[in-house]
Structure 1
Amino acid sequence: MGNGTKSAEHPTHEDSRYEAVRSRDARFDGAFFFAVETTGIYCRPSCPAVTPKRRNVRFFATAAAAQGSGFRACRRCRPDAVPGSADWNVRADVVGRAMRLIGDGVVDREGVAGLAGRLGYSARQVQRQLTAELGAGPVALARAQRAHTARVLLQTTGLPVTEIAFASGFASVRQFNDTIRAVYAATPSGLRAAAPARDRASRRAATPSAGIPLRLAHRGPYQAGPVFDLLQREAVAGVEEVSGVPGRRLYRRTLRLPYGTGIVAVDERPGLPGTGGGWLDARLHLTDLRDLTTSVQRLRRLFDLDADPYAVDERLGADPRLAPLVAARPGLRSPGAADPDELAVRALVGREEAERLVQRYGKTLDAPCGTLTHLFPEPAVLAGAEPDGTAGALAAALADGAVRLDPGADRDDAEHALLAVPGVDARTAAVVRTRALGDPDVAPPDHAVPDTWRPWRSYALNHLRAAGEWEHR
C-alpha cells in the first residue's frame, strides 16, 4: 500500500479508502493521500473536487510518496496542510520514531546520517524501511516538508523569495525553485500570487515585527478548554503566560530552537463537536526563520494536533465508565511538550521551583515581550549550577545524553534511564513519558486500569481528570 501500487491481497482496504474519498471524509485527511492519474494531481480525502473514477485513483501513505511518483499538490484542497498521521504519535517502532525526527527537522540539520545515528540504525536500513512502508525515503519526506514550509512563507509573509528559500531548509535557490515547480506546478512568485484571500490579507497586514501567522490544523473535534486549563495551571512565569477568559484565552511562551529563539502566541478556540476538523490560530516570532518547521512541529506536539479523536473516542466510548465522559468532551486531547527536557525538569521539581530556576539560571531574552522575559535554563546550565540533588542529577543525565527525550527517543529506553536517576520515581517517569515523549498509552504506576483502554490510556486519564475523577499531575 505504502508504495502506491494496487494490492490484490487487500482490495477491500483500498476500496474502503476510495469510499472515504467518495464521501469526502475529513477523518482520513493526513492518514493517506490519493492521486488522479488523468490529472497528475494528488489530494486529501476530503477534497471538494469532483470524485474521480476508481480506476484512475492511486493511494499513497505520504505526500512525499505522491510527489515522488510525479503528482502535484491540489491547489484547491492543499493536501500538504493536513494534520500529520496519528500513526507517528502511537507507533514506537523505527518508522514512527523516524517520522517524528524528520518532522522536527533533523534531516535538514544533520542529514540522513544524523537521522540514522539517532535511531541506532545505518542510513541504508532507515532508507529501506521508510521506502518499503511509506513509499518515500528520508530525503523525499524532508523535501515535502520543506516545500510546505516554503508555501506557508510565500503565501503569508512578504519576505523576499531568496530569504524564504534558505529559511525553508533548501540548500540553494535553484533547488528551491525546482521543488516548488515540481510540487505545486508553479513558480514561487506564481504560488505567492495564488494565495487564498485570507493569506493575502495577512500578508498585506504583516510588518517585520508582526511574526508569521499560522493555522495549526487538527482533525475532528478539539476540546481547547481543557488544554488551555492545563497550560494556565502549569504556566511558569517568565517563560509562559495565559491571558483572557475561558473560551477566549491567549497562550504565549518562549522557545529555545536549534538556530535561535522564538515567541509563540496561540489562540483558544471553542471545541467544535461533530465537525471534520479545524485549526488553532497562532503567530510565531523567530530570530532565525530556519526554525519555522521545528517550532511548528513542537507546537503540534504540545497541543496534540495530530491525534485521531475518532479512533480514541470510539475505543474509550465503548467503556461504561468512560462513555459519558467521552460524550461530554469529544475530541479531548493529551497535551505534550514544547521542550521535552524542560518538561522533565518541571515534572520533577514543580511550578514554584521551576520559576526560581528560570529567574536564577534562565537566559534573558534580548528583547523581552511583556511578561515573557526568559528561556527555560538548559540542562547543562542547571547541571553545572546546582549539581547536587535530584534536579541536578536529572539535568546532568539530560545534558550528557544518558536520558534522551528527543522525538526519536525509544520510549521504553527513556523510561528506564529516567528511573535510574536518583530521586526520579515511577509517577514522575510516567508524566514525562506521557507529556515529553507523547506516549498515548501510559497507565498510572500505582493504579490498575482496564486493558480495554489500550492504546489510549493517556487519553482515558485525561477524561477522568477533566471530570474531576482523578487528581491533576
Structure 2
Amino acid sequence: MEGVIDEETRYEAVRSRDARFDGEFFFAVETTGIYCRPSCPAVTPKRQNVRYYTTAAAAQTSGYRACRRCRPDAVPGSAEWNVRADVVGRAMRMIGDGVVDREGVPGLAVRLGYSARQVQRQLTAELGAGPVALARAQRAHTARVLLQTTDLPITEIAFAAGFASVRQFNDTIKAVYALTPTALRAAAPRRGAARATPAAGIPLRLAHRGPYQAAAVFDLLAAEAVHGIEEVTGERAARTYRRTLRLPYGTGIVAVQEARSTAAAGGGRGGGGGGGAEGASGPGAVHRGGWLDARLHLTDLRDLTTAVQRLRRLFDLDADPYAVDERLGGDPRLGPLVAARPGLRSPGAADPEEFAVRALVGRAGAERLVERHGKALDAACGRLTHLFPAPAELAVERGPLGALATALADGALRLDAGADRDDAEAALLALPGLDARTAALIRMRALGDPDVAPPGEPEPILDAWRPWRSYALRHLRADRDPTARRAPSCGSGADGSGSAPR
C-alpha cells in the first residue's frame, strides 16, 4: 500500500464494498460492536458510527467481535508489511511466522534488537495493538480454521493453535467470535463434504486480493523444482505444486492447486466493489479476489500458522496488485506488459535458507545435496522422498557452500521473516564466492523484498519503478520468455526456466 489512506477514502471503500482494501484496514461499527472487512455485504453503517483499525487485533483490543458474515480474519495480509523494512514491518512478519507463539515477546525483541518494552510501545503506538494481542488474533484465526475444517478434539486444537491453556483458548474464542468453540464449529459453512481428518490433511483456501497470474507462478516453480523435495504435476491451468517442509516443531507436506486468473478490470483505488477471500462477496461486486486451494499434512499441528505464512510468502499472496500495477502501468516500457499480465506476482521462498543454498549451487547442485545430505521421509509421498538438508548438515561442505551453510547455522547470517534486509545482503556479500547478483536474488526471493534490482539483467531496472522493482523484473523476464502467453483471461505469463532459482 502506498501512502496513507484517509478516512474519506476508507468510508468510500466501505460504502462501495471494495475488496481491494480487504486486509489493508478494518472497520468497526459502534452500534453493533462488530468489526468487518471493507467488502462486507452488510448494510453500510452511518459514517458517524464507523471506526477504523489497521489490524484485526486492534479492533479486538477495542472490544469488537469479528463479523460472522464477512469473516474479516480470513482476508489477505497487508502488503505494507512486505514493503516496510523498519522495526514494525519486521515485527509483523515475524509475528506472522509464529515467533511470539514459540519464543514469546522477549524472543521477538531479541530478534529485532530492541527491548520488549520498546517493541510493545512501537507496535501499540502505530497499530493500536501490541505483540501479544497481534499473536492472539492470529491464534484465534488458526483455531477457527481447525474447528471448522477438521474433526480434531477441541483440546488438541487449543494447543495446536498456540494457546497456553484451554481456558485461554475458550476465553479468546468467545471474545473474538462471540461463540463458544463448540458453537463456532457447529456454525461452519457446509460444502457437502465431511470434515478433514489429520490423516487426510487440513484443507485451506489461501486468499489473495485482486487478479493473480497463477500460471506464471506455477511455471516458475515447475522450472525450479528439485527432485525429491518438490514437484509440479498435472496439465497447465490445473496443476498441483507439492513439496516437503521443514518446520519448527516437525515436518510437513503441502499441495497447492493452480487456479485460473481472476484478471479483474479496473484501475486504482477508490471505486468499485469487490469479492473477498473464502468466496465472500458483496452486492454489486466488480473487483474479485480469490484463493488458491491447498492441503497441508503436518506431523505437529503447532506448525500450521508457520506453514501457512511460508506458503503465503512463496506464492506472494499478500501483495497489493492494484498498487503495483498502478505504479508500473504508467511507465512507457512496462505499461503494455502490465496490461497483458495484471496481477503478476513476485514469488518468494517456502524456506529462505534452502533458497539461499539453491541460488548458490543451482538446481542440479541442489538435487545432489538432497541425495547426499537430505533426510528421508518416514514414508515417501509419491515422488516426494526427502527434506532439504538444514544448514548445519551442509556445513561439512567445502568452499562457498560450506561458508554459506556455516553462516546460516551459527546465526551470522539471518534470513528469517524478520531479518534486516540490508544487514543480510551485507553478510551475503562478505561470504567467499557469493557475488552481488546472487545476493540480490536471495534478497528478492528468500527475504521477499519487493524492490530489488539484480545486476547483470539484459535491461536496466530503473529507479523510477521503486518500490516495486522486483515486480518490474518479473514483467521484463516474462516478456523475454518466448513460451510466455499473454492472454489475461486465463492469467498466463511464464517467468522462464533455468536450472537455478531466478
Q: Same fold (TM over 0.5)?
A: yes
Specify which of 455, 466, 473 is matched with residue 478 of structure 2. Answer: 466
Specify the alignment match of 1:3 in structure 2: none
Query: Alpha-carbon deviation of 1:471?
Result: 7.1
Specify the alignment match of 1:94 in structure 2: 87
Specify the alignment match of 2:164 in structure 1: 171
Specify the alignment match of 1:350 in structure 2: 362
Specify which of 241, 251, 266 is matched with residue 261 of structure 1. Answer: 251
Aligned equivalents of 1:197, 1:19: Cα separation in 2: 33
Aligned equivalents of 1:52, 1:256: Cα separation in 2: 46
Matched, 1:452 2:442: no
**Identity over aligned residues, as a percent?**
80
Aligned equivalents of 1:405, 1:206: Cα separation in 2: 34
- Aligned AA for 1:302? L
Secondary structure at the residue paired with 2:185? helix
Query: Alpha-carbon deviation of 1:391?
Result: 0.8
Specify the alignment match of 1:399 in structure 2: 409
Query: Alpha-carbon deviation of 1:398?
Result: 0.7
Specify which of 425, 432, 437 is matched with residue 442 of structure 2. Answer: 432
Specify which of 219, 238, 250 is matched with residue 240 of structure 2. Answer: 250
Secondary structure at the residue paired with 1:467? helix
Residue deviations 1:188-216, cap 9 Å, x none?
Answer: 01000111123xx44x1524411000000
Q: How many residues align?
A: 458
Q: TM-score, normalised by structure 1?
A: 0.95
Aligned equivalents of 1:457, 1:52: Cα separation in 2: 39
- Aligned AA for 2:204? L
Q: Work out whether residues 231 and 383 of structure 2, in 8 Å CA contact, stay in contact via their aligned partners in 1.
A: yes
Specify which of 114, 120, 127 is matched with residue 127 of structure 1. Answer: 120
Aligned equivalents of 1:434, 1:98: Cα separation in 2: 19
Residue deviations 1:230-263, cap 9 Å, x none?
Answer: 0000000000000011101000000000000000
Specify the alignment match of 2:310 in structure 1: 298
Using CA pairs below 8 Å that are at least 6 residues apart, which structure has the higher relative contact order? 2
Query: Alpha-carbon deviation of 1:446?
Result: 3.2
Secondary structure at the residue paired with 1:197? coil
Specify the alignment match of 1:16 in structure 2: 9
Secondary structure at the residue paired with 1:350? helix
Matched, 1:227 2:217: yes
Secondary structure at the residue paired with 1:280? strand
Specify the alignment match of 1:316 in structure 2: 328
Residue deviations 1:69-98, cap 9 Å, x none?
Answer: 000000000000000000001000000000
Q: Work out whether residues 220 and 496 of structure 2, in 8 Å CA contact, stay in contact via their aligned partners in 1.
A: no
- Aligned AA for 2:325? D
Matched, 1:118 2:111: yes
Specify the alignment match of 1:71 in structure 2: 64
Q: Work out whether residues 461 and 472 of structure 2, in 8 Å CA contact, stay in contact via their aligned partners in 1.
A: no
Aligned equivalents of 1:190, 1:147: Cα separation in 2: 14
Specify the alignment match of 2:337 in structure 1: 325
Deviates more, 1:269-278 or 1:50-59: 269-278
Secondary structure at the residue paired with 1:216? strand
Specify which of 48, 63, 67 is matched with residue 41 of structure 2. Answer: 48
Q: Work out whether residues 198 and 297 of structure 2, in 8 Å CA contact, stay in contact via their aligned partners in 1.
A: no
Query: Alpha-carbon deviation of 1:16?
Result: 1.2
Secondary structure at the residue paired with 1:118? helix
Specify the alignment match of 2:96 in structure 1: 103
Secondary structure at the residue paired with 2:452? coil
Matched, 1:289 2:301: yes
Aligned equivalents of 1:292, 1:207: Cα separation in 2: 14
- Aligned AA for 1:278? G
Query: Alpha-carbon deviation of 1:467?
Result: 1.4
Distance 1:168 1:455, change over 3 A: same
Specify the alignment match of 1:419 in structure 2: 429
Residue deviations 1:437-461, cap 9 Å, x none?
Answer: 0000001223532222100000001
Specify the alignment match of 1:186 in structure 2: 179
Aligned equivalents of 2:331, 2:14: Cα separation in 1: 30
Secondary structure at the residue paired with 2:52? strand
Aligned equivalents of 1:237, 1:451: Cα separation in 2: 38
Aligned equivalents of 1:48, 1:26: Cα separation in 2: 11
Query: Alpha-carbon deviation of 1:322?
Result: 0.7
Aligned equivalents of 1:340, 1:331: Cα separation in 2: 24
- Aligned AA for 1:100? R
Specify the alignment match of 1:377 in structure 2: 389
Aligned equivalents of 2:390, 2:136: Cα separation in 1: 30
Q: Where in structure 2 are there 5+ consecutive unaligned residues?
A: 265-286, 482-494
Specify which of 272, 277, 280 is matched with residue 292 of structure 2. Answer: 280
Aligned equivalents of 1:219, 1:159: Cα separation in 2: 30
Aligned equivalents of 2:463, 2:439: Cα separation in 1: 20
Secondary structure at the residue paired with 1:101? helix
User: Could you list the runs of 4 or more consecutive aligned residues of structure 1 that deviate by over 4 angstroms after TM superposition?
Assistant: 469-472
Q: TM-score, normalised by structure 2?
A: 0.90
- Aligned AA for 2:473? L
- Aligned AA for 2:337? L
Query: Alpha-carbon deviation of 1:278?
Result: 0.2
CA RMSD of aligned residues (A): 1.2
- Aligned AA for 2:297? H
Secondary structure at the residue paired with 1:377? coil
Secondary structure at the residue paired with 1:95? helix
Q: Work out whether residues 34 and 64 of structure 2, in 8 Å CA contact, stay in contact via their aligned partners in 1.
A: yes
Specify which of 129, 136, 143 is matched with residue 136 of structure 2. Answer: 143
